A and B are shown apart, each in its own frame.
Chain A
Amino acid sequence: MSSFALVGNPNTGKTSLFNTLTTSYEYVGNWAGVTVEKKIGDLKEGGGQLVDLPGIYSLHPLSKDERVATQYLIEETPSALINIVDASQLERNLALSIQLLEYGRPIILGLNMMDVAKSRGIHVDIQKLQEQLGVPVIPLIARTGKGSSEILSTLKDFGAVDSPVLTLDYGAAEEAITDIEKMLTSIPNLPNHRWVALQLLAQNPVILQALSSQIDMAEVDAISNRCEAKLLQAGYISSLPEWIRSVRAGFIEKLCHTVLDRSTQKPHNLTERLDAILTHRYLGIPIFLVFMFLLFKVTFDWIGNPLSDLLDGFISGPVSDGINNALDAVGASSFTHALIVDGIVAGVGGVLVFIPQIFVLFFIISFVEDSGYMARVSLLMDSLMEAVGLNGKAFIPFIIGFGCNVPAVMSARSIEQPKDRLLTTLLIPLMSCSARLPVYALFAGVFFQSHQALVVLSMYVLGIAMALLLCKLFSSYLLKNEANVFIVELPPYRLPQGRSLMRGTWEKGKGFLRKAGTLILGGSVLIWFLSYTGPGGFGVEMDDSFLAKIGGLLATLLAPLGFGTWQAGASLLTGFLAKEIVVSTMNIIYHVPNMEGLQGQIALSFTPLQAYSFMAFVLLYTPCLATVGVIRKETSSWRWTVFSIGYALILAYLISLIIYQGGRLLGFS
């Protein structure tokens, strides 16, 4: 079967195109580094597979996500490449295109963002570009899907023909290229040899590594040294890689001169006006903070909670009654009845009522991602992040972490320096994800009714404050960082489209629903079973159940924190599976029919101070199972994975202890 690969600069719309060309859907956003892993989908009208690669500026990678793309090109043989090029940034984008044209596979050039280029008065002569490069050039507007049918029809009868390889004249380096090509003749399964030779001479680390066991690297070094000596003789002071780059740059300059008309080019008016306010020296940060506060106001007070109450009424009313009646009608045993009503309905339903808050939060996060504000936030936060030994870019994974920690850990891949990346990965679990939200909503609803949004916001702020503090600590003592660097591309702002916002929200929220149907369902059954059975047999009193015994083991340990009950111990223990399960467990333990009943029970079992201490503990203690898994995968180290669990437990214990004991000293209860 044929397979095609999408290659191009970061944030040029590869994934948008991928979503219109294939039957699958992947995550899109308006900043560089959204896609960090290759994604594979089936082309819509059949005819093969499409691979979406992380964005790269050149084949010479700096960060981990960029390595994925280069590795793909050396290891696989795609039938053809689709090179997505930002028409409003043609010159910069062509630097990659040249290397892809040298790669020797058939190529389609997808000229994306034609609308942006047009509105900025940049005119690209498509006919001429096509003639000069010798490959088909198709104008696109990937966001709206315009041009995608042309791509599909071009792909259909494309893979079979070999398109001409672009051959530039590298002058003084030609002899070295020929010498290396000779060394490659005996090696099977290589892409175009001239391409490989050029990449070797340009010191591309991925290609050097891939071939290190197959050819004599000392010989390669000797050839490049000879060539550099020759360059020097001819009066060029540049190194060989620089020479190769400059030849390409010269070609691009000439090309752009013929195909590009910028005589009517206009500045980014809207973007510059917005930036003048949103990234203003003094106003930028206050605006960001106000934005965050509004986010919580909307999520909780204004939209989330009223909808959540309606949903609760529906689940505890018609749904529960219906299930009860149905169970009576089929004559279910009391065991089955208890399992379904006290276990599954209580456990899963108790989490599902928070769907509104979670979806509203995801909607706002999607808006930030699509609008282009994300990159600005990293700019605003850089000074603060630099002070604690990291850089502003790490703030992007932090914000994604508010939705879910798992994709946040993945997105840290786009951070250039390995130590920065590790540090960010370790700290992401402190970002309060949407799974922790049901816990806050439940407790804040009971104890802090008049200041719900503020109390919940304080949890997020506590998480960020702890992340900054630990960052300083880790970067000073544990992961001493060589000078870290910061550079961020600021894409033009754009108004997110309703369709893509809905899609983005749904794709994030789907994970939550899936979790409710799997992990939380299973967890609820298990918890209910442990609460139903005990050393004394089945149907024991809750206080004599296995669950009470297990939770009781933790109770003494948790007593200094203000919640030394077996109920709290048991729900925290099960919360390791997924933090929503804390709420499920409480629903089952206090077996109550609806939120109101649970709130009443909780009001009896906790004081406001104890509740706050408990919320802080849930925020900070061990990352959930899925996050631990992805940390292990991304760091490839059990040591760091165990470290991330360990520091979180210690931190949670200390902070809750300070909150509870400190609060008592201050006279709170």
Chain B
Amino acid sequence: MNQSTPLLSLQPGATGSIYAIHDMNPILRRRLYDLGVHEGSVVSMKQRGPFGGPVTLECNGQLLGIRVKEARGIEVSVC
């Protein structure tokens, strides 16, 4: 397995599997879990938002948006 990198370093269209999630608000973490985003799940970066706004991610065919500051806590290993 490759070394882990921040999710935010992925180029739009690139995919990685979540290695760790740090310092995340518990409500958000629960919601992400509900949507199938947790350690081990495969996410891909879709798009950066306007004016430093939310990033769009895809996981299991589900598109979702979260803020950059929270996405910063997600580390992925590039597959």
List A residues at the B interface (Cβ < 8 Å).
57-58, 60, 62, 88-89, 91-92, 95, 120, 122, 245, 265, 268, 271-272, 275-276, 279-282, 284-285, 379-380, 382-383, 386, 392, 416-417, 483, 485-492
Contacts and interface: CB of A to CB of B under 8 A. Distances in A.
A279 B64 contact: no
Given A275-B56, A379-B56, A483-B25, A490 B49 contact: no
Residue among A92, A491, A492 having the largest count of chain B Cβ atoms under 10 Å: A92
Residue among B51, B63, B67 having the largest count of chain A Cβ atoms under 10 Å: B63
Interface of B: 25, 27-28, 30-36, 46-54, 56, 60-67, 70
A488 B62 CA distance: 11
A386 B48 CA distance: 16
B50 A281 contact: yes
Contact of B60 (A89, A386, A487, A491): A89
Contact of B36 (A92, A276, A279, A284): A92
30 contacts: A58-B34, A62-B31, A91-B60, A120-B61, A271-B63, A272-B46, A275-B47, A275-B63, A279-B49, A280-B47, A281-B50, A379-B49, A379-B54, A379-B56, A379-B65, A382-B67, A383-B53, A386-B67, A392-B54, A416-B31, A417-B27, A485-B25, A485-B27, A485-B28, A486-B54, A487-B28, A487-B64, A488-B64, A489-B62, A490-B63
Contact of B51 (A89, A383, A416, A492): A383
A243 to B, nearest CB: 14
A122 B63 CA distance: 16
Nearest to A484: B25
A383 B49 contact: yes
A380 B31 CA distance: 20
Given A122-B61, A279-B50, A285-B51, 17 more contacts: A60-B30, A120-B61, A265-B61, A275-B46, A276-B47, A281-B47, A281-B51, A379-B49, A379-B65, A382-B65, A383-B50, A383-B51, A383-B52, A392-B54, A487-B66, A489-B64, A492-B63
A60 B33 CA distance: 12
Contacts of A120: 61
Contacts of A485: 25, 27-28, 31, 67, 70
B47 to A, nearest CB: 6
Contacts, number: 104
A248 to B, nearest CB: 12
Contacts of A88: 61
- Ranked 8 nearest A-B pairs via Cβ: A57-B34, A490-B63, A383-B53, A485-B28, A379-B65, A92-B36, A383-B51, A488-B65
A89 to B, nearest CB: 6
A279 B36 CA distance: 23
Contacts of A265: 61
Contacts of B30: 60, 62
A488 B32 CA distance: 10
A487 B31 contact: yes
A409 to B, nearest CB: 22
Contacts of A272: 46
A95 B31 contact: no
B33 to A, nearest CB: 8
A416 B49 CA distance: 22
Contacts of B47: 275-276, 279-281
B67 to A, nearest CB: 5
B43 to A, nearest CB: 13
B77 to A, nearest CB: 19
Interface of B is mostly: mixed
A552 to B, nearest CB: 51
A281 B61 contact: no
A582 to B, nearest CB: 38
Contact of A490 (B31, B53, B56): B56
A487 B27 CA distance: 10
Contact of A486 (B34, B50, B62, B67): B67
Contacts of A282: 50
Contacts of B36: 91-92
A285 B53 CA distance: 11
A487 B46 contact: no
Contacts of B62: 89, 92, 489
A382 to B, nearest CB: 5
Contacts of A416: 27, 31
B50 A57 contact: no
Contacts of B35: 57, 92, 487, 489
Contacts of A57: 31, 34-35
B60 A380 contact: no
A222 B63 CA distance: 41
A485 B35 CA distance: 15
A62 B36 CA distance: 16
A284 B34 CA distance: 28
Contact of B66 (A91, A281, A486, A492): A486
B52 to A, nearest CB: 6
A280 B65 CA distance: 13
B64 A490 contact: yes
A382 B53 contact: yes
Contacts of B60: 89, 91-92
Contacts of B27: 62, 416-417, 485
B48 A281 contact: yes
B13 to A, nearest CB: 10
A392 B49 CA distance: 12
B61 A268 contact: yes
A91 B28 CA distance: 20
Nearest to A375: B65
Nearest to A283: B50
Nearest to A486: B67
B72 to A, nearest CB: 13
A490 B56 CA distance: 9
Nearest to A262: B61
A540 to B, nearest CB: 61
B49 A281 contact: yes
Given A58-B34, A265-B61, A382-B65, A285 B56 contact: no
Nearest to A246: B38
Nearest to A391: B67
A252 to B, nearest CB: 10
Contact of A268 (B34, B52, B63): B63
A485 B53 CA distance: 13
B42 to A, nearest CB: 12
A15 to B, nearest CB: 20
Given A58-B34, A272-B46, A382-B53, A490 B61 contact: no
A348 B32 CA distance: 50
Contact of A279 (B31, B34, B56, B61): B56
Nearest to A483: B25
Contacts of A417: 27
